[in-house]
């Protein structure tokens, strides 16, 4: 299933075009990235929300710069945006950066 162009933004990394979108869930945000052709493997990044000592919830802002970093992490760790297959999953940990994981 491709990412809806209507609900996504475009970005270019290493002269490749991608579409990306963010969805909010209970306790985390999900970044989904896919090649602009809509046929390759997706990159799915989970961003956990954190609580401060005074009880406030902090969400990491998912900016275009963060999306570029996620795409570069994916390239360096086995994501193949032009290949078909199951999504490549990773998490962003505020203290450790991007970490790959398998579902």
**How many other CB atoms are there within 10 angstroms of residue 102's CB atom?**
7
Mean pLDDT (the chain, rounded):
85
DSSP assigned state of 41: -
Closest CA to 5 of 32, 43, 29: 32
Percent with pLDDT over 70 in the chain: 89
C-alpha 44/C-alpha 47 separation (Å) is 10
Mean pLDDT, range 4-25, rounded to an integer = 88
Tokens of residue 89, six digits: 């999953």
Residues whose CB falls within 8 Å of the CB of residue 72, separated by 6 or more in sequence, listed in order: 13
d(CA 56, CA 62): 18
Grade residue 93 by pLDDT with cuts at 50, 70 and 90: confident
Assign 102 a pLDDT band (cuts: 50, 70, 90). Answer: low
């Amino acid at each position: 299933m491709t990412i809806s162009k209507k609900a996504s933004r475009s970005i270019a990394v290493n002269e490749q075009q991608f579409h990306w979108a963010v969805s909010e869930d209970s306790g985390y945000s999900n970044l989904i990235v896919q090649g602009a052709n809509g046929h390759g493997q997706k990159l799915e990044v989970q961003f956990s929300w954190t609580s401060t000592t005074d009880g406030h919830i902090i969400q990491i802002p998912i900016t275009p710069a963060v999306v570029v970093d996620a795409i570069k992490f994916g390239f360096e760790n086995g994501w193949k945006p032009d290949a078909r297959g199951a999504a490549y999953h990773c998490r962003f940990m505020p203290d450790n950066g991007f970490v790959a994981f398998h579902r």
